[in-house]
Structures are given as structure tokens and as C-alpha cells.
Amino acid sequence: MDKDRIAFLEEKARDLRVSIVKTLHRSQSGHTGGSLSAIDMVTALYFQVMRHDPENPLWEERDRFVLSKGHAAPAQYVALADAGYFPKEDLMMLRRLGSHLQGHPDSKGTPGVEVCTGSLGQGLSMANGMALGLRLGNRQSRVYALLGDGELQEGQVWEAAMAAAHYRLDNLCAMVDANALQIDGEVEKVMNVGPIGEKFRAFGWNVLEIDGHDMEAIVEALETAETVKGKPTVIVARTVKGKGVPRFEHKASYHGVAPNDDELNEALICLGCFED
Amino acid sequence: MKATREAYGETLARLGEENKDIVVLDADLSGSTKTAVFAKKFPERFFNMGIAEANMVGTAAGLAAVGKIPFVSTFSIFAAGRAWEQIRQSVAYPKANVKIVPTHGGVTVGEDGGTHQSVEDIAIMRAIPNMTVIVPADAEETKGAVTAAAAFKGPVFIRLGRNKVPRVFDEGHIFQIGKGCEIAAGTDLTFVTTGIMTAQAMQAATLLAPEGISARVVHIGTVKPLDKELVLKAARETGAIVTAEEHSIIGGLGSAVSELLAERQPTPLVRVGIKDRFGTSGKAEELLKYFGLMPEDLVEAARSVLARK
């Protein structure tokens, strides 16, 4: 892949990280760690891989994105705002009464959000339904679903995994943001879900395992997924919760905590951004 | 006599011809729910989701998100019960155009027993914002309700039954979401009923007539949104209400009517229904007697409410 393009996407992801911490600092409520671990994948989707049109959010031929780990909503919101779905000023209203930017993604109010997610375990089922419906309508659109690794503890995910393979949904690509942490601690200790790849393989999926912060690997995996026929693909992406800001990295305690003033300044310095 | 589920299967198959966006999902019970009739005719638009109701409801929400009109069926306990949170989050919260149409509601499921008899489904569906809850009285009304649900944009729950039930409505009856109907005139009290209890109330009214008691029967096909004007009119004009449903007395039609009347038109009222208990095995007819859902029970309730008038 073109080195300049990769550099552009990496720079975009850095900008969006800045936007995430600023947005969360402003709202003083929301999920920092999981938004930062997911943002590289979200960036690759919105700025490289997905066919979509911010001017026409309901364009029928668009690819669909389902943020099944809906608590990472800030990651999706900053990408949507940057892409032009709504004014960036809206981000400052995250989680406020009257704002379309709800605590978890809400298709009723936010342009570019396809379904309502946030209650973990339900997004892959909805992505399956979209993939089935699009195929039934002979649409070429693809469906992307981003799940957390802790989320895989929900039984419904495996019902959906079974169904996606059963119906040979090769227009579906799931991604697991495997940051290895959940609210109460390490995923492995709270309720081990591994080996994730082996489980999906046993359910009949094509499995790709990557570093979820390697932009080139992310784009390459998403492009490979598109060429696989007859079965759905899952990209198991190893990530770091809080990625980009050392203070937040590898810490379950920043799962659902927004940065305070000091943490914001520190984060902005770490992200190479010296303005307040 | 005809089961509401029979009418459902036939209606779905007919609607499937008219509207190519209609898709149907079932959880390994298509023979019982009668979605198999649709499946046979339109196999490419039928999805058997296996014994996995939560995923079935989520999948339906996804289908709706790309413009399809999914009908989702299984037994009511597994739809309203097992998949309640999926119905809330993936269907009702986004106002997804999904129709949840379970069969085997209430105790007349019979021999399968309490595990399979949903007696709380109306209550828990009614509690969800954006949800429309319909409980048809017979096959004819089912036809109308399913047709209306397909044309309506948004989540609808239609509770159907297993057994053959007597005809209440003439052929060609026009069903309107949110509209109840007075199906027997009366002046002394009103039976406000839903589902199979409407036919029971008609018999009860006949039993009361020789005693000189004139009972009105108001059928509420749509428990939510409730036809408030019709219920208030009945309360005003007859001064006594007996509600009846094949469902717990907690949270269903009896509750909806009580809530309305307590606030707007306090009226002596008795709720006939299942008295905060689970179901049990037995033949449908035996169970209706066992749980006090026979015309005689309605007559008893009528006398008791009249004594308080």
C-alpha cells in the first residue's frame, strides 16, 4: 500500500485521538480506554475502506458500520464529525441533555449511525441482519461490526457467530478490539474468552489476526476480508486500551472515566499537540 | 373455529406476495407458529435462526435497518421473555420496523405446562416505549392485525394462540391499530376484554341477560395504545367494569384499564385473569376452568362488581 496514504491515515488517527480526549474532557463522562483502542480501526474504515457519503448518509449502496461495543461511541462520533456527517461543534455536546450524541450510538438522532448499540452482545446480530438483507437486495454493500473482547462473553455473540457462518455471510466482516481489559480487570481473569481466533474458526469463520494499531495491517486485513468468499471474516486485532496516552494505556481504571484537566494536558502533549 | 396462528400463516403468505420486502424469521418452531406456510412459498425470504431467539430478534433489527419488514415468530415466552432485552434495545429503542408475532400465548398452550405458558408477555411488552401490543380475538381479527402491522411503520407485538377459537368478527372486519370495538350493547356493566376472553365475555353476557343484567362487551384488540375514549365511555355509561384476559392480572389489560380509570373516571372494577401464578399442565379447556377464565367466572365477577356500583 501507498506509504503516503498510510501516513495520512496514521495522522488522521492521531487527530481523532486528540478529538476523543478533548470531547471526553468536555463531557466529563464517557469511555476513554476503549475509544482509544478502537480508533485506528475506525479510522481505517471511515477514511480508507468503507464506501460511504457523508453528504448522503442514507445512500443505499453505502457500506454499513455497527459499533457493537457501543461505549466506544466517542471513537465513532469523532470520525463521523471529521468525515462531515455533522458539525464538529456537536462533539462538545456529547452526553448532554438534548444532544443527538447520546452516551451510546443512537440511529434515531445521529447521521451515519445505523442502529442503536451499547447493550453488549447485540451488534453482531444486527450486522448479520443487514448483511442478509443487503444480499437479498443484491446490493454490493459490505457490513462491518466492531466488537470488544470482553463483549465476547455475551452468549448472543456466539449465536450470531453461528448464524453468520451458517448463512455464509461473506459480505460481513467482524473486528474484535482485543484490548484484553474490561471494567473489572483483565478479560482473562474476569472470564477468559480466548483463544478468540480458534473459537471463531471453529464456528466456521475466516480468521485474521493482526496488531490493531498497525494501520497498514488493518487496511490490508480489511481488504483481504473482502476477497474471502463463502464465509464471514473476523479480524482479531490485538490492541492496547488507552492507546496513545501512556497514563491511560493498559489500565482498566480508564474504561469508563473521562480525562480531568491535568490528564487532558498530558494527553495533548503525548499526542504531539501543545495547544490547550 | 380456527386458531389465530393458522390465520397468521395464511396472511403472511398472502402479504409476502404483495410486498417483497417482507421477510420472516423463526426459531425452529415454524411448523407450530405457521410461518412454515410463508417459508414454503418464499424460501429465500425465510430465515430459520435455530433455537437462538436473542440473535433472531437482533437479526430482524438489522434486516429492518436495510429496509426489510421482518416478522419474527416463536412461542411467546421465548419472544417476549427470552428476547425481552433484544426487543427493547435493538427493536423498540431505535423504532425498528420489526413485527414480533409469537404464538402460544397464555395458558391455553396446555399440556406443555408452566414453562411454556407466557402469562406476563403483555405486561412486559406494554412497558416498553414505542411498542404497540395487539391481542386478536379470533382468526379474522388476526388477519386484519397482521395486515395492519405490515403497513404500520415501527415495532409491533401481536400475541397469538395455539388453539382453535370461536369466530368473534365477521369476514371483512376492518382492524385498526389502537381502536377497540363495542361488540355487544349493554347498560349495567361492561366487559373490557382482549384475546380469547372476548368470546368468553360474549357468552357471559348471554348468561347474564335472563337475570335482567345488561352487559356491554368492549373488545380491546390493541392493548397499547389503549382506546381510552371507548373505555372511558363504557365506564361513564355503564358505571361498572370487568376486565378479562388470558394473562396475569398484573400489568396487562386489567392494569391498563385500571390505570386509565383511576386517573380519569374512577369506576368499580374487577380484573379477571391469572392471579399472579404460573401456568401448569392440562388440557386447554381444563386450564381455563382451573384459572377462572370461563364465562361463569365472568358472570361471578359481574355480580361482584355490580354489588359495588
Among candidates B95, B122, B114, which has minimal Cα distance to B244? B122
Interface test with B, best of A64, A100, A120, A136 (most B CBs within 10 A): A136
Please list every residue in chain B whose beta carbon sits closer than 8 Å to the beta carbon of residue A131: 62
C-alpha cell belonging to residue A115: 442502529
C-alpha cell belonging to residue B64: 429492518
C-alpha cell belonging to residue B265: 373516571
Taking a C-beta distance cutoff of 8 angstroms, is the pair B111, B79 a contact? Answer: no
Residue B61: closest C-alpha in chain A: A126
**Do A128 and B55 count as a contact with CB atoms less than 8 A apart?**
yes
How far apart, in whole angstroms, are the C-alpha atoms of residue B309 and residue B307? 6
- CA Rg, chain A, in Å? 17
How far apart, in whole angstroms, are the C-alpha atoms of residue A101 and residue A90? 8
- Please report the pLDDT score of residue B56 as a whole number: 98
Among candidates B52, B55, B57, B8, which has minimal Cα distance to B28? B52
How far apart, in whole angstroms, are the C-alpha atoms of residue A131 and residue A87? 30
**What does chain A come to in residues?**
276
Nearest to A163 among B45, B49, B65 (CB): B49
**Do A160 and B61 count as a contact with CB atoms less than 8 A apart?**
no
C-alpha cell belonging to residue A195: 483463544
Cα distance from B254 to chain A (closest Cα, Å)? 32
**Do B62 and A106 count as a contact with CB atoms less than 8 A apart?**
no
**Do A156 and B95 count as a contact with CB atoms less than 8 A apart?**
no
Cα distance from A256 to chain B (closest Cα, Å)? 21
Please list every residue in chain A whose beta carbon sits closer than 8 Å to the beta carbon of residue B70: 129
Nearest to B47 among A106, A127, A132 (CB): A132
Chain Cα centroid distance, residue B258: 18
What is chain A's pLDDT, residue by residue, as a tens digit (276 residues)? 799 999 999 999 999 999 999 999 999 999 999 999 999 999 999 999 999 999 999 999 999 999 999 999 999 999 999 999 999 999 999 999 999 999 999 999 999 999 999 999 999 999 999 999 999 999 999 999 999 999 999 999 999 999 999 999 999 999 999 999 999 999 999 999 999 999 999 999 999 999 999 999 999 999 999 999 999 999 999 999 999 999 999 999 988 999 999 999 999 999 998 754
Residue position matching grid coordinates 410486498: B19
Q: What is the DSSP string of A196-246?
A: HHHHHHHTT-EEEEEETT-HHHHHHHHHHHHH--SS-EEEEEE--TTTT-T
Q: What is the DSSP string of chain B?
A: -EEHHHHHHHHHHHHHHH-TTEEEEESS-HHHHSTHHHHHH-GGGEEE--S-HHHHHHHHHHHHHTT-EEEEESBHIIIIIITHHHIIIIIITTT---EE--B-BSGGG-TT-GGG-BSSHHHHHHTSTT-EEE--SSHHHHHHHHHHHHHS-S-EEE---SSEE---S-TTPPP-TT--EEEE--SSEEEEE-TTHHHHHHHHHHHHGGGT--EEEEE-SEEES--HHHHHHHHHHHS-EEEEEEEESSSSHHHHHHHHHHHH----EEEEEE-S----SS-HHHHHHHTT-SHHHHHHHHHHHHHT-
**Do B55 and A163 count as a contact with CB atoms less than 8 A apart?**
yes
Cα distance from B121 to chain A (closest Cα, Å)? 21
pLDDT, one tens digit per residue, over B97-156 is 999 999 999 999 999 999 999 999 999 999 999 999 999 999 999 999 999 999 999 999
Is B245 one of the annotated active-site residues of the chain?
no
**Do A133 and B63 count as a contact with CB atoms less than 8 A apart?**
yes
**Do A126 and B65 count as a contact with CB atoms less than 8 A apart?**
yes
Please list every residue in chain A whose beta carbon sits closer than 8 Å to the beta carbon of residue B47: 132, 167
Taking a C-beta distance cutoff of 8 angstroms, is the pair A66, A126 a contact? Answer: yes
Query: B99 has which bridge partners?
Result: B71, B156
Listed as ranges, residues in chain B with pLDDT below 50 are none
Chain Cα centroid distance, residue B25: 20
How far apart, in whole angstroms, are the C-alpha atoms of residue B246 and residue B254? 11
How far apart, in whole angstroms, are the C-alpha atoms of residue A16 and residue A237? 19
Residue position matching grid coordinates 423463526: B26
Task: Mark residue B247 as left, alpha or beta (left: phi above 0; alpha: psi -120 to 50; beta: remaining).
Answer: beta
Whole-number average pLDDT of chain B? 98
Could you give the ipTM of this predicted complex?
A: 0.96
Interface test with A, best of B24, B49, B59 (most A CBs within 10 A): B59
Task: Mark residue B172 as left, alpha or beta (left: phi above 0; alpha: psi -120 to 50; beta: remaining).
Answer: left
Cα distance from B72 to chain A (closest Cα, Å)? 12
Does A127 lie at the interface with B, CB-CB under 8 angstroms?
yes
Taking a C-beta distance cutoff of 8 angstroms, is the pair A18, A273 a contact? Answer: yes
Cα distance from A216 to chain B (closest Cα, Å)? 30
Residue A72 phi/psi, 5-degree rounding, is -85, 25
How far apart, in whole angstroms, are the C-alpha atoms of residue A237 and residue A197? 10
Contacts of residue A269, Cβ cutoff 8 Å, sequence gap at least 6:
none
Q: Domain coordinates of chain A in residue numbers?
A: 3-270
Domains of chain B with CATH codes? 2-165 (3.40.50.970), 181-307 (3.40.50.920)
Interface test with B, best of A67, A68, A122 (most B CBs within 10 A): A122
Among candidates A86, A83, A80, A36, which has minimal Cα distance to A258? A36
C-alpha cell belonging to residue A71: 461505549
- Please report the pLDDT score of residue A275 as a whole number: 52
Does A124 lie at the interface with B, CB-CB under 8 angstroms?
yes
Q: What is the pTM of this model?
A: 0.97
How far apart, in whole angstroms, are the C-alpha atoms of residue B136 and residue B242? 19
**Do A116 and B93 count as a contact with CB atoms less than 8 A apart?**
yes
Among candidates A241, A221, A190, A268, which has minimal Cα distance to A45? A221
**Do B61 and A128 count as a contact with CB atoms less than 8 A apart?**
no
Which CATH number, 3.40.50.2000, 3.40.50.970, 3.40.50.1000, 3.40.50.300, labels domain A3-270? 3.40.50.970
Does A48 lie at the interface with B, CB-CB under 8 angstroms?
no
